[in-house]
Amino acid sequence: MPELPDVALYVERLEALFGGKVLTSVRLKSPFVVRTFEPPLSSAAGRTLRTVYRVGKRVVLELDPELHLAFHLMIAGRFHLKKPGAAPGKLGLVALDFPDATVLVTEASSKKRASLHVLRTRAEALALGRGGIEPLDATLAEFSTALSLENRTLKRALTDPRLVSGIGNAYSDEILFRARLSPMKRTADLAPAETSRLYEATRAVLTEWLARLREQTGEGFPEKVTAFRPEMDVHGRYREPCRVCGAPIQRIAYAENEANYCARCQTGGRLLADRALSRLLRGDWPKTLEELEESRSARSRE
């Protein structure tokens, strides 16, 4: 799922490329993507793109006369820049036609979770937000207060849009690694120094990644938005060596998500129990990196 750095870059490049230009037509291929009925999507045609802004993980196009197109890409949705009049193709949901290019909104999933709300005012668009703090704007006190609202694991707290806006599975892994904190540590157990470390790590990781993505994209358009990037420290690097200590990166899976972490850097060498594997292995589940390596060595000798 595109997260804050990716969404912010979409916002910047869409406004840079199409701000002040007329949205000549809107071609809807998948009617299920539109979650509102009034005003109709067709009313967007002929209006000028005034600005583009972010609401959580949503990209909102503000048109003039005032109309707001709020896109939530969910897990598999993406924006793509194409030649004028390009066909939506198999994955296309909607095509936004400008005089010199077409912006395609696609979704590479059969579940079709991406959404589009057509709204009359900015207030209606902002109301789609879940109420979480903006991590790059919040003070340490505001960040601490948000985390204290519920006793959650740090992984869940960072990815809960009611607490913190714009962070998902990938960047939460990177933030917790930078802060040297376990993804399963409870927010109620955070010491003040740990909260401060997490706050600084959150701001640093998001800022650094936004800068990196800007540099990679340049004056173009972000066509390769992905949650798995080779420069990441832990996310998507299961069993690869930690760049800090050399220990293999570990992973736990739950529901449709996963947490990637370094046991040596984040949990004092203790392995976090994966529920599925714990049920399968019962008492044989290793508790430390050393036990894990011994178990793997024993299996390789069998």
Average pLDDT on 171-194 reads: 97
**Nearest CA-CA partner of 241 in 273, 172, 193, 289:** 289
Average pLDDT on 254-266 reads: 88
Q: Which residue has the tokens 């969404």?
A: 7
Q: How far apart are CA 209 and CA 121, in angstroms?
A: 31
* Residue 256 scores a pLDDT above 80: no
Question: What is the reported pLDDT for 276?
Answer: 53
Question: What is the reported pLDDT for 2?
Answer: 95
Q: How far apart are CA 108 and CA 111, in angstroms?
A: 9
Average pLDDT on 113-121 reads: 97
Is 263 strand, coil or helix? helix
Average pLDDT on 49-53 reads: 98
Alpha-carbon distances of 32 from 25, 43, 58, rounded to whole Å? 19, 18, 17
4-126 fold: N-terminal domain of MutM-like DNA repair proteins (3.20.190)
pLDDT in tens, 188-233: 999 999 999 999 999 999 999 999 999 999 999 999 999 999 999 9
* Residue 64 scores a pLDDT above 50: yes
* Residue 277 scores a pLDDT above 70: no
* Residue 300 scores a pLDDT above 90: no
Look up the pTM and report it: 0.90
133-271 fold: Helicase, Ruva Protein; domain 3 (1.10.8)
Question: What is the reported pLDDT for 92?
Answer: 96
Question: What is the reported pLDDT for 281?
Answer: 44
Q: How far apart are CA 72 and CA 77, in angstroms?
A: 8
Q: Residue 2, Cβ neighbours under 10 Å: how many?
A: 26
pLDDT in tens, 135-155: 999 999 999 999 999 999 999
pLDDT band of residue 287 (cuts 50, 70, 90) is: low
Question: What is the reported pLDDT for 112?
Answer: 87
Question: What is the reported pLDDT for 273?
Answer: 76
Question: What is the reported pLDDT for 282?
Answer: 47
* Residue 60 scores a pLDDT above 80: yes
Percentage of residues in the chain with pLDDT exceeding 70? 90
| Cβ atoms of residues 74 and 50 within 8 Å | no
Question: What is the reported pLDDT for 257?
Answer: 77
Q: Rg of the chain's alpha carbons, rounded to an integer?
A: 22
Residue ranges per domain, the chain?
4-126, 133-271
Average pLDDT over the chain, rounded to an integer: 92
